[in-house]
Amino acid sequence: MKLTVVGCSGSFPSAESACSSYLVEADGFRLLLDMGNGALGELQRHCGLYDLDAIFLSHLHADHCIDMCAYFVARYYRHDGGRCDPIPVYGPEGTEHRLTTAYADTPTASSMSEVFDFHTVKPSTFEIGPFTVHTERVAHPVEAYGIRVEHGGRVLTYSGDTGVTPALDELARDADLFLCEAAFTHGKENIPDLHLNGREAGETAARAGARRLVLTHIPPWTDPQVNLTDARTVFDGPVDLAAPSLSYEI
């Protein structure tokens, strides 16, 4: 698998990065995890506008899904007059309604489904192209999922947005790469069931036996170096900060 960070800014875009979006590729198949603010523009640095094969939305906070409205325009109103065939979009209950109403206050109910084939995510194991994925509810104020992506005996786990939860420990069990949010700062923000701090991300990686930790979803007002240091204090494996265009062979 190849993972490419399209955007990694937490909660709102920074001057350097779009919000959450990660491209996962294997066997020529392209799966995008989340499409937050600004992600559609950045995505075009890494693949063609119409080269995605499937999209997974961890939850419906705008910083994880709002560029789907822009992507709808690109797929529905192609400059050549055609219309893109629907690609699978996996998201929580109500994803189609949420995106449709975000796009327009008088939307045509069927239009989004002409270019997106919506599937409702539940905690389960299923196939997306060549990937076997496992989803679990994580600890966030809205219905939110973490995802474990397996291919060729390798494992990528993405936390989505979450507080500390045993579900995330299981999703990240023995993961080759654990892409984990660290939106809060240890000793500063402490709101349960919302976000992790760098230390908690490191502790989760250690409990899960993950081999590599990549911290993401750090908001522009948070010092990433503090979170990086906090994670390294409790996790012995390699820890990186996500950055736009950074890629990993997993």
* Binding stretches for Zn ion (CB under 5 A): 61, 63, 161
* 224 DSSP assignment: H
CB of 59 to Zn ion, least distance (A): 6
- Which among 74, 76, 71 has a CA at the least distance from the CA of 57? 71
CB of 196 to Zn ion, least distance (A): 11
SS3 content of the chain, % helix, strand, coil (to 5): 25, 30, 45
Task: Report the DSSP pairing between strands 247-249 and 2-7.
Answer: antiparallel
Question: Looking at beta carbons only, is 63 or 230 nearer to Zn ion?
Answer: 63
Question: What three-state secondary structure class fits 51?
Answer: coil
Question: Looking at beta carbons only, is 150 or 200 nearer to Zn ion?
Answer: 200
Q: Which residues contact 77 (CB under 8 A, 6 or more apart)?
A: none
Question: Looking at beta carbons only, is 75 or 91 nearer to Zn ion?
Answer: 91
CB of 162 to Zn ion, least distance (A): 9
Question: Looking at beta carbons only, is 36 or 202 nearer to Zn ion?
Answer: 36
CB of 234 to Zn ion, least distance (A): 23
Task: Report the DSSP pairing between strands 2-7 and 87-91.
Answer: unpaired
